[in-house]
Structure 1
Amino acid sequence: MELIGNDKVGILSEKFDVKQLARDIATNKDLQLNDSSFMVVSIDKIIERFQLWKQQLPMIEPFYAVKCNTDPVLVRILATLGCGFDCASREEIDIVMNTGVTADRLIYANPCKTRSFIAHAMQRDVRMMTFDNAEELVKVAKLHPNAEMILRIAVSDPTATCPLNLKFGCDPVLVAPQLLKKAYDEGVNVVGISFHVGSGCNDATAYKVALQHAKNLCEIGEGFGFKMDIIDMGGGFPGSEHKNSFENIAQVIREAIDEFFPDTEKRLIAEPGRFFAAAPFSLVANIIHATEVPASKITKNEKDGGDSGYMYYINDGVYGSFNCILFDHVHPTGGPLFDQDSDQKFVSTIWGPTCDSLDLVEDKKMMCKLQVGDWMYYPDMGAYTIAASTTFNGFARPSMIYVMTENVWNSKIKDSRHI
């Protein structure tokens, strides 16, 4: 095992299958602690996601949305690769800058900021920050005269997993031009336009609409004497299998840039979160209890009362890694870590470990019969999971087990100043 910071990272000689590696860990008493849940974190997968971004959107600088997952190794690897960072608070700014990332690689992308946090951003020379209202301009003018403000407009995919424009963004036609004039009157420097179509975008055309508004507003801003050098395309990029693939979204964005910003010298950035964080993290949880019940108790259909069903309790739940079910509208799908001898399946419910009946992970799931001590495997568990997890009821968060191939260590990571 090699050491990266305070976190041990396993260096493997050849390419590995994450699920098989999880099996090895679950059965190796030297690697896993009794029956505790754990996450296998593939650093190779982080790098693969970064390379995919550079392949599909080479003209756009990714600024990782730190709120998605603040895991220190993930942040340090992305810093090593040259990512920028989207921060929304004082704590997130410090998390990133304490790895050695310079202030020009951060955007304080919260349109409604705490006053002391604005002062802290000035102290750390973080200049790029967003706004969508006149009150924020007045606040920033007093506390951070060196700020480079980016106007956030409301252009949304209403079918996105998590629409955001109810809370943030101004009307791009009726309000945005007024805010540009207000910034001019207050002497606040505006340097660009930002938008966020919603987390988990389903309709890629929202990006085209937003970029057209951005073009129009850049022209208005330039009329006030602002340089308008930055276009921030926010997030919404999927992190795993999704109704609308990343490749499709990237194609729409490339075509829109060619149409509205051909041969531009503007700095194009975006704020992907789950795109980088979701796939590298795989959760392995242990079944701490199993009980046979009438199938009707699970299906709520008395006609099924003659068949057996099973209720399983695992040592992670909605107060832990599965908080994404409540907060992110995501429903993770898992299965047994090890192949089972029987093909017979029973209607099953997967519960979390707490004493709260809200702690439901999966319901009415067809699955083979399992026993106490068996393991469940959930892939794509890095986005909006551990970042908002708690230790409610005294249940610990999963342990992190970081792995990478020797080739990645030698070629990408070993000599980086961010490690």
Structure 2
Amino acid sequence: MNGYLNESNFLMVEEGFTTRDLLENLLGELCQESEQQAFFVADLGDIMKKHLRFLKALPRVKPYFPVKCNGSEGVIRLLAELGAGFACANKAEISRVQGIGVPADRIFYSSPCKQVAHIRYAATHGVRLMAFDNEVELSKVARSHPRARLLLGITADSIPSAHPSMTFGTTLKSCRHLLETAKEQAVEVVGISFHLGSRGLEPQALAQAVAAAQLVFDMGAELGHHMHLLDIGGGFPGTEDTRAPLEEIAAGINSALDLYFPEGSGVDIVARPGRYYVTSAFTLAVSITALEEIPTEQPGSDEEECGSKKSLVYHLSEGIYGAFSCLLFDSPCPRPRLHRRPHQRLLGVLPTETLPRAALAQQQPAGPAGARRGAHRRRAGAAPAARGGLAAFREHGSLQHANSIPAQHRAPATGQLRHVPHGLENHPALPGKATPDRR
């Protein structure tokens, strides 16, 4: 043990004790306290298995976990214990990781758009590995952190992004100019970084990206840069219900690396798996605070016909301004599983402790479709139709959402959480009223 984990900080369970078993026990205790807040349960054993699986599938690749994906202390401590590095997006994330003792040489300041104050903070705390993809960013680093070791971010994704403003990386045409400028400003460029994301983890796309990186490596070497590090980004699947399992994706990555950066070439490979590690490890429990019937909209039907068909809308104790903020981007809505006991109406609050040896909750039978809304009354807080998995019932109960990730800067709105994603410890709960009982 390297000292990152202290077992007294976590809830230890017996072999065979599952997340569902723990939820049963917790809900039995908390439902008597008339609390409505949502909470997460995390399975550290699942993260450990994911790590070992990653190392086996990609033996040449060192994982750097993106802290913005899930800043829970239990996750960070476990991955630090396992020897992973950390990709940090700002000063606060660097401070969080270094606060548990992770050395600076295992931290990658991966944001391509950095504040000068944060660059200076990294410099004073020994964090040298950084990313850039434009001349302005290069100049900021040259002025504020001349000892930095930079990775040039390139765009190698042939698939147009659904959010163009979120696309980073320079084109191959601009690489030589940026490498020349870095040389003129005496800034060390040590490698290339790209991020295809889950949309681009196809063998052909991967091969094209690695080939493009090899071309830029040659450019850098010609200009006198010591190029020895390749970052292949993230996008690895976090659940098994994906088009391609990790091993199939890894085969394509290994093939491309063997072709363009074979062993013995002196190039180290890193990646940034985020959702891969934590998606299946986290289960979110929420309470159903109210329900209402609304007319079902039928295309081409008049109002009278629409009014005869109703659908149920369930109001939850968590919304898109909290744990369901993933719905604003590209994540699918987590699948709900009904959990209800006689006379159980509300849930309580659980500190987000972790379960080193717990298994995932088992699948429950799907029920009729319904729609869900979050804790905030605005319709923008509504979640899409459940399409199975949410039973049409008339009494309050609770739902479990497996494969949930505490979103960046988000957590269930409660002051009792001890392990929460970065940024919420000192912030009040988001504004909004709980939806009244409409039964």
Conservation of the 8 A alpha-carbon contact between 1:19 and 1:337: no
Q: Relative to structure 2, which stretch is displaced further, 299-308 or 261-270?
A: 299-308
1:27 matched to 2:50? no
Which of 365, 372, 377 is the matching residue for 2:387?
A: 365
SS, match of residue 320 in structure 2: coil
Q: Relative to structure 2, which stretch is displaced further, 195-204 or 55-64?
A: 195-204
Match of 1:213 in 2: 212
Alignment of structure 1 residues 251-266 onto 2, 5 Å: 251-263=251-263, 264-266=265-267
Residue 327 to residue 165, structure 1, CA distance change in 2 (3 Å): closer
Residue 146 to residue 32, structure 1, CA distance change in 2 (3 Å): farther
Residue 309 to residue 8, structure 1, CA distance change in 2 (3 Å): farther
Provide the C-alpha distance between the structure 1 equivalents of 2:216 and 2:193, rounded to a whole number of angstroms. 10
Tell me the CA shift for residue 112 of structure 1. 2.1
Provide the C-alpha distance between the structure 2 equivalents of 1:6 and 1:20, rounded to a whole number of angstroms. 20
SS, match of residue 324 in structure 2: helix
Residue 34 to residue 42, structure 1, CA distance change in 2 (3 Å): same
Match of 2:190 in 1: 191
Conservation of the 8 A alpha-carbon contact between 1:290 and 1:313: yes
AA aligned to 2:133 is D
Match of 1:112 in 2: 113
Provide the C-alpha distance between the structure 2 equivalents of 1:348 and 1:300, rounded to a whole number of angstroms. 22
Residue 76 to residue 344, structure 1, CA distance change in 2 (3 Å): closer
Conservation of the 8 A alpha-carbon contact between 2:38 and 2:287: yes
Provide the C-alpha distance between the structure 1 equivalents of 2:407 and 2:38, rounded to a whole number of angstroms. 12
Tell me the CA shift for residue 298 of structure 1. 9.0
Provide the C-alpha distance between the structure 1 equivalents of 2:193 and 2:366, rounded to a whole number of angstroms. 52
Which of 292, 302, 312 is the matching residue for 1:310?
A: 312
Alignment of structure 1 residues 13-412 onto 2, 5 Å: 13-29=14-30, 34-156=35-157, 158=159, 167-172=167-172, 174-199=173-198, 201=200, 203-240=202-239, 241-263=241-263, 264-294=265-295, 296=296, 305-337=307-339, 346-363=368-385, 365-366=387-388, 367-382=390-405, 385-389=406-410, 395-396=413-414, 399=417
Q: Percent identity of the aligned residues?
A: 28
Conservation of the 8 A alpha-carbon contact between 1:156 and 1:165: no
Conservation of the 8 A alpha-carbon contact between 1:39 and 1:398: no
Provide the C-alpha distance between the structure 1 equivalents of 2:156 and 2:197, rounded to a whole number of angstroms. 9
Tell me the CA shift for residue 305 of structure 1. 4.9
Residue 216 to residue 34, structure 1, CA distance change in 2 (3 Å): same
Unaligned runs of 5+ in 1: 403-419
SS, match of residue 46 in structure 1: helix
Provide the C-alpha distance between the structure 1 equivalents of 2:243 and 2:112, rounded to a whole number of angstroms. 29
Conservation of the 8 A alpha-carbon contact between 1:183 and 1:189: yes
What is the TM-score of this pair, normalised by structure 1?
0.84
SS, match of residue 259 in structure 1: helix
Tell me the CA shift for residue 397 of structure 1. 7.6
AA aligned to 1:206 is A
SS, match of residue 321 in structure 1: coil
Tell me the CA shift for residue 110 of structure 1. 1.5
AA aligned to 1:396 is T
Tell me the CA shift for residue 378 of structure 1. 0.7
Provide the C-alpha distance between the structure 1 equivalents of 2:418 and 2:321, rounded to a whole number of angstroms. 18
**How big is the alpha-carbon RMSD for the aligned residues of Structure 1 and Structure 2?**
3.1
Match of 2:347 in 1: none
Conservation of the 8 A alpha-carbon contact between 1:132 and 1:151: yes
Residue 301 to residue 281, structure 1, CA distance change in 2 (3 Å): farther
Residue 350 to residue 7, structure 1, CA distance change in 2 (3 Å): farther
How many correspondences in the alignment? 390
Tell me the CA shift for residue 306 of structure 1. 4.2
Tell me the CA shift for residue 202 of structure 1. 5.1
Output one character per residue of 1:309-346: Cα deviation in whole Å (capped at 9) or x when no partner. 32211101111100000134432221313599xx9954
Conservation of the 8 A alpha-carbon contact between 2:65 and 2:272: yes
Conservation of the 8 A alpha-carbon contact between 2:68 and 2:408: yes
More strand by share: 1
